[in-house]
Amino acid sequence: MRLFEHQQKGTKRQMKKIWLYLAVLSVALTGGGCGFTDTPNELMRAPAADVNQQSINQAVMQFLPPGSQLTVPLNPTESSAVALHDLTGNGSPEVIAFYKTEKTDYEIGVLVLSQSGGNWKKTASFTGIGRELDYVDYVDMTGDGIPEMLIGWGGGDGLNKELSVYSLKENQPVELLKQPYSVMAVGDLAGNQEQELALVVHDNNNLVSKAEVYGPTDGKLSKWTEIQLDGNVNGYEQAVIGKASPTKNGIFIEAGLGAHSAMTELLILENGQLLRPLAGTREEMELTFKPYSLYSEDINDDGIIEIGIHTQPPGTDEMAMAEIPWISSYYQWDGKSGLKHMEDHFQSTRLGIDFRIPDKWKDKFTVERNPDSNSTVAHMVYYGQNGEQKATLLTFQSIPQQEWAKMEKSSEGKQTPYLVLSEQGKQVLVAIQPQKPDNLSSAALREYNAMLLTSDEIRQLFRPLKMQL
């Protein structure tokens, strides 16, 4: 359960955010002794062998107010309701726990425990105004090597949040910064091996937006710079700091423009100022315009973040936007004012699939789906001579477990080659390789045969789809 966090984050990333969030909501702390409804050892994971988990469990239960309920931060995905970090730099970590009480829906409590003489004691306790805990992280924001507490208080969907940055001084929380934000990111923007903070603020009433960058200056956290952004957006959905090119880091900001459109804003820090290298004029279509949100990520694991933009496959011009099987095309910033294409992927939430399009398919394929909106079948199709020559290259199908056993048995002896790509939950995802087509010209057949994939190639090109939360 995502109730416990430690500085070593490797195991945390394996946890499933939704499952953990639902699980933690069922943990009520009631009565004078504030006991968990389940055994504490089942609710918390030991952070390391040298930490006494049982004593931490007991301490958290002892000091949480009666009627409290531990609450899990929504972001980042690996954050926890209970964390262990050295906030004072004395080599001994503190326990930090977040909770809500029955008294109010708009107050979140923070409990800090420290160890003395082998026992845990309450060092500090304070509250913040918020309906939900939007963000929690522990990052050195002043350059002294000691992490601060970054806590984002959220009021609910559609409302701006408020970030508080606390430093623990003489066992008391000192608020270094308090600022509103829509989305935020923490990372090494300046390339100086230190952590900077980026806040994006959108005023939906006045249609104005800005991005602010904060970082360490002479041992203090200060505002470095800001830049105005497009205020005529529905809202900002995500911000990430990462490598934008081999030599430059950037802030990738995802914005929703309307019911069916989105864009990505890239910001670069140059000589202490934020620049928008991809920004076009008001008369020009934004380079990163897309019909739906498609978040930036390092899609090819080269250490550089790519910007996702949808591409419409050929033969789909007459389809409604919601029916188009969009291809996810990923681009890197070229270091100037443009983008360079890196990879194409077929991604389907319905199938749970992320399939990288092989280079040998470029400009010679399309995607076809069954008209049924609930269909879990997608065909990758050879598309030659502007669609006059067509044949299936590969079929993906998601099948319920109980039906798969019957289908697998019935397919025996039919010589239909297939691969089981994943078995998640109650679904089996298979890739079905095609029979030799008999409707292609000799020239088209040669081209088609050159595009066919081996079983090993299919496995290498496939991965489960990362869900955007």
Domain spans in the chain, listed from the N-terminal domain onward: 56-178, 182-351, 369-464
Higher pLDDT, 258 or 357: 357
How far is CA 90 from each of CA 5, 112, 147, rounded to the nearest angstrom? 19, 15, 12
Q: Considering the chain, what percentage of its residues have pLDDT values greater than 70?
A: 85
DSSP 3-state helix, strand, coil percentages of the chain (rounded to 5)?
Answer: 15, 45, 40
Q: Give me the residue label for tokens 């301490």.
A: 59
**Cβ partners under 8 Å of residue 219, min gap 6:** 142, 143, 144
Q: Averaged over 290-300, what is the pLDDT?
A: 96
Alpha helices in 2-96 (DSSP H): 17-25, 40-43, 53-63
Report the sign of the C-alpha dihedral through residues 369, 371, 374, 377, in that order: negative
CA distance 161 to 155: 6
Highest CATH level, class, for 56-178 = mainly beta
| Alpha-carbon span 438 to 391, nearest angstrom | 9
For residue 197, the 8-state DSSP code is E
Strands (E), 182-260: 183-187, 196-203, 208-217, 220-229, 235-243, 249-258
* pTM (predicted TM-score): 0.86
d(CA 145, CA 139): 9
User: How would DSSP label each residue in 256-302?
Assistant: EEETTEEEEEEEEEETTEEE-TT---TTSPPTT-BSS----B-TTSS
The residues with which 136 forms a beta bridge, in sequence order, are 151
**Per-residue pLDDT tens for 62-86?**
999 998 999 999 999 888 899 999 9
Residue, of 228 and 159, whose pLDDT is higher = 228
Say if residue 434's pLDDT is above 90: yes
pLDDT for the residue 373: 59
CA dist., res. 419 & res. 312, Å (int): 27
pLDDT bracket for residue 58 (50, 70, 90): confident
Query: Using 50, 70 and 90 to split pLDDT, how confident is the model at 406?
Result: confident
Chain-centre distance of CA 378, in angstroms?
25
The average pLDDT across 450-455 equals 97
Cα separation of 442 and 128, whole Å?
71
Q: What is the pLDDT of residue 20?
A: 32
Q: Which residues 6+ apart lie within 8 Å of 364 measured at CB?
A: 382, 383, 384, 447, 451
CA-to-CA dists, residue 245 to 24, 195, 266, 352, angstroms: 39, 18, 12, 30
By DSSP bridging, strand 82-85 and strand 4-5 are: parallel
Q: Which residues contact 32 (CB under 8 A, 6 or more apart)?
A: 66
- In degrees and rounded to multiples of 5, residue 172 shows phi and psi of -130, 140
Task: Look at residues 156, 176, 287 and name the one whose alpha carbon lies nearest to residue 223.
Answer: 176
- What does the mean pLDDT of the chain come to? 86
User: Which range among 18-32, 90-104, 282-296, 387-401 shows the weakest confidence by mean pLDDT?
Assistant: 18-32
Which band of pLDDT confidence, cut at 50, 70 and 90, is reported for residue 51? low
Give yes or no for a contact between 342 and 300, defined as CB atoms under 8 angstroms apart.
Answer: yes
> Cα separation of 187 and 271, whole Å?
18
Identify the H or E element spanning 2: none
Residue 469 and residue 451: Cα distance in Å, rounded? Answer: 35
pLDDT confidence of 258, banded at 50, 70, 90? confident
Q: What is the pLDDT of residue 407?
A: 79
Q: How far apart are CA 314 and CA 386, in angstroms?
A: 8
Q: List strands edge to edge, sheet with 161-169.
A: 132-139, 148-154, 161-169, 172-181
pLDDT digits (tens, 9 = 90+) for 7-47: 443 333 333 332 233 233 333 333 333 333 333 333 344 34
Q: Which of 322, 352, 325 is nearest to 428 (CA)?
A: 352
**Unique residue bearing structure tokens 């459109």:** 261
Q: Give me the pLDDT at residue 284, please.
A: 54
pLDDT at site 17: 33
> Which carries the bigger pLDDT value, residue 467 or residue 143?
143
- Say what the pLDDT of residue 93 is: 94
Which residue has tokens 């802030």?
A: 251
pLDDT in tens, 346-367: 999 999 999 999 999 999 999 9
DSSP state of 64: S
240-249, 285-294, 369-378, 420-429: which range is least confident on average?
A: 369-378
Q: What is the largest CA-CA distance in the chain?
A: 83
**Lookup result for tokens 């993906």:** 396
Compute the distance between CA of residue 335 and CA of residue 332 in angstroms, rounded to an integer: 9
The pLDDT assigned to 455 comes to 96
